[in-house]
Amino acid sequence: MAKIEVRTSGLWRVLEIIGGLIVIAAAIVVLVDPQFAVLTLVVVIAAGLVIGGLFRIGVGIFATVLPPTLRALNTAGGVIAVVLGAAALLDLGAAVATLIAILALALLLVGAFEIGVGVARHPPAWLRASIIVLGVLTIILAGIVVIDTSIADGVLAAILALALLLVGIRNLVHGFSGHHPVETPIDASVTAA
């Protein structure tokens, strides 16, 4: 088996570029005003939990066509969602700290995945190196947040936004280059002299 270098389809590359631009835009919004961005996100998520929870409770109580087990699960899930959403709205500081911790852990995983992708998949040395470097920087920035939670929420959000910015840049680089290896058998007639 030999590996040949191919480019991903044009549509996939466009989607990667658009995705990278959206991620970069989100990171810039957070960098401009980290505290506002984080509080807005917490309020939106908490409100969504409350509204979704109330809907689930309604389904559990009034959807008599559903089996009793499913109705009970809907009701229980709805109550949990309403309680968690209300708790987040009542104590935004704790909700922000929890959200930042969850995002930092998620970015640690993204960074580790990027390193794995860089090592395993991309033959051009410049692309492999850039993906690995971006993965390492993402892990370092997210690791700072995980290790030192005493930093102010705005600083933590800015650090995570920088890590997110790196992920967006990686999407752009890969979208513009579009390289990926494909294993393929080499035909005997090609190698025959």
pLDDT, mean of residues 69-93: 88
The pLDDT, as a whole number, for residue 40 is 82
pLDDT for 189 beyond 80: no
pLDDT tens for each residue of 165-183 = 888 888 888 788 776 555 5
pLDDT, mean of residues 33-49: 81
Give the torsion sign (CA, 57, 62, 63, 68). positive
pLDDT for 77 beyond 70: yes
**Which stretch of 36-40, 67-71, 154-158 has the lowest confidence by average pLDDT?**
154-158
Whole-structure pTM value:
0.59
pLDDT higher at 4 or 131: 131
pLDDT, mean of residues 53-59: 87
Average pLDDT, the chain: 79
pLDDT tens for each residue of 130-166 = 888 888 888 888 888 788 777 766 777 777 788 788 8
The pLDDT, as a whole number, for residue 79 is 94
Concatenated DSSP letters of 46-115: HHHHHHHHHHHHHHHHH-TTS-HHHHHHHHHHHHHHHHHHHHHHH-HHHHHHHHHHHHHHHHHHHHHHHH
pLDDT higher at 88 or 103: 88
The pLDDT, as a whole number, for residue 181 is 53
**Which stretch of 24-28, 78-82, 116-120 has the lowest confidence by average pLDDT?**
116-120
Report whether 127 contacts 181 (CB < 8 A). no
- Taking the C-alpha atoms of residue 5 and residue 46, their distance in angstroms, rounded to an integer, is 46
